[in-house]
Amino acid sequence: MSQRGRHRSSPARLAAFEALFQVATKDAYANLALNQVLSKHRMDAQQSAVCTELVNGTARLLGTYDRVLETAGGRPLSSLQPAVVTVLRLTTHELLSMRTPTHAAVDAGVELARDAVGQRVTGVVNAIARKVAAHDLDEWVTLLSEAAPDPVDALATATHHPRWITEVYADLLGDEARTALEANNVAPVPTLVVRPGLVERDQVDAPDATPTTFSPFGLHRAGNPSDLREVRRGQVGVQDEGSQLMAWLASLAPTSRDAAGLPWLDLCAGPGGKAALLTGLARQRDTWLLAGERAPHRADLVRKALSAYQDGWAVVAADGTRPAWQPGSFGRVMADVPCTGLGSLRRRPESRWRRTTDDLDELVALQRQLIDAAWRSVAPGGVLAYVTCSPHPAETIDQVRAFLDRTPGAELLDAPALLPDVPGAGHPGDARMVQLWPHRHRTDAMFGALLRKPS
């Protein structure tokens, strides 16, 4: 990339280019790359907002923009160097999804190409950008949809998702699928969670916050969470309402009397959001939480998340498939297993284009190992909460059904009955399991099932 001469591009565009180039070439997560460049570059509030929109918006519609660019340019993007592709993606977002005038967006793209790559690529950027500008986003979607081989592909194009994800939504939701997919394209307002025993929701000094609809622990609040004193003190964290509901669900599940006084386990605890909420709830029941996390650096994140509690917890860096504790030690176990993350597409906009069915196969095998290990950790009469941030059947209902088939005596509890104020929470394939949806509940598409061990 060019480092010579004085940059004429705005700081927001240069920073957005830097973040998305990391996503394209280093497999970085867009939200982490964005936070990095916002911390690195000194920008005012307006420039920071523009940078955020450029990064998140471009990442969210990445696949659609790539199809537009290949159609407009008449060549595969693989024929262009990654830096040029990144410039074109950002320029396309300005042209099709922001209010930047056409001539200004094209000129900005050319200047960004000159600053970030070099003078020699400005011609190709200018030519392709002008062809992109020949249609607005709706017109491009119509053109691409008309070329789709079938209705599922057309729906994927119209809602800016890969086909394989669109198929999952269509199979689960039928006519409701379009609304659900479109909800993934709306960035959520940040959601906070109070830590039980440290602060009450009405004590948080945030008059501009609104209570979450279903979780008794949550608040919606726009802006930077670290502006709040309670967040800086660790009394309040950042956590989607759906994740809050899964931790709460695990705490509500009925156990036997013998299991009730035993400690709780969070099997895959990193980075610590659910573990912090579970710790507060466990302390209210006169017990404590063990948080396990395989990666040492993520175990450190869990410790940081729990550090506001003086007691009631312990963290161990351990592989959940090979537990570092005795079998049958815990009255409640949460296995929030690694998954495709298809339930958090609102907050992680690039993940829909990053994940593939190959990833799914590897994750399903790991999930099977983890649910079996978690079950061995449950005491007689105790409960296992199996949780994923995904609506994909292979990671959710199929995983639970397969577990029940190979595990005599395991009882599937009616989880939605424990959340009576959450409408439409039953899974479409089995109403005893919970499946949340962004378009219904304004949460991530979290899945939860409760399994009780015989006394």
We report the CATH number of the domain holding residue 21 as: 1.10.940.10
Question: Do residue 306 and residue 396 come from a single domain?
Answer: yes
Question: Do residue 257 and residue 343 come from a single domain?
Answer: yes
Question: Do residue 322 and residue 374 come from a single domain?
Answer: yes
In a domain? residue 190: no
254-310 tens-digit pLDDT = 999 999 999 999 999 999 999 999 999 999 999 999 999 999 999 999 999 999 999
Closest CA to 186 of 33, 345, 58, 423: 345
Question: Do residue 160 and residue 75 come from a single domain?
Answer: no
Report how far residue 296's alpha carbon sits from residue 377's, in angstroms, rounded to the nearest whole number.
21
pTM of the complete model: 0.92
In a domain? residue 352: yes
114: left (phi over 0), alpha (psi -120 to 50) or beta: alpha
In a domain? residue 91: yes
Q: Which two tokens stand for residue 301?
A: 């994140």
Question: Do residue 111 and residue 176 come from a single domain?
Answer: no
In a domain? residue 197: no
- Three-class secondary structure of residue 210 per DSSP: strand
Question: Do residue 404 and residue 350 come from a single domain?
Answer: yes
Question: Which contiguous run of DSSP H or E holds residue 197?
Answer: none
Question: Do residue 123 and residue 169 come from a single domain?
Answer: no
Tell me the CATH number at 319: 3.40.50.150
Check residue 2 and give its pLDDT.
Answer: 46
Cβ atoms of residues 447 and 415 within 8 Å: no
| Known catalytic residue at 51 | no
Q: For residue 177, give its domain range.
A: 148-183
Report how far residue 192's alpha carbon sits from residue 262's, in angstroms, rounded to the nearest whole number.
29
Q: Which two tokens stand for residue 160?
A: 């800016």
The domain tally of the chain equals 3
Question: Do residue 320 and residue 398 come from a single domain?
Answer: yes
In a domain? residue 379: yes
Strand ranges, E, within 46-197: 191-194
Chain CA centroid to CA 42, Å: 27
Question: Do residue 253 and residue 371 come from a single domain?
Answer: yes
In a domain? residue 448: yes
Question: Do residue 174 and residue 300 come from a single domain?
Answer: no
Q: One-letter amino acid identity for 268?
A: C
Question: Do residue 335 and residue 448 come from a single domain?
Answer: yes
Chain CA centroid to CA 207, Å: 27
Check residue 6 and give its pLDDT.
Answer: 64
Q: One-letter amino acid identity for 85?
A: V
Q: Which two tokens stand for residue 437?
A: 């949806």
Q: End-to-end distance of the chain based on CA atoms, in angstroms? A: 64
51, 268, 339, 389: the active-site residue: 389
Check residue 50 and give its pLDDT.
Answer: 95
Domain limit, last residue, from 138, 172, 197: 138
222-268 tens-digit pLDDT = 988 989 999 999 999 999 999 999 999 999 999 999 999 999 999 99
Domain limit, last residue, from 74, 109, 138: 138
Closest CA to 280 of 240, 311, 323: 311
Domain limit, last residue, from 76, 109, 138: 138
In a domain? residue 194: no
Question: Do residue 367 and residue 265 come from a single domain?
Answer: yes
Query: What stretches in the chain show pLDDT beneath 70?
Result: 1-6
In a domain? residue 214: no
Check residue 3 and give its pLDDT.
Answer: 44
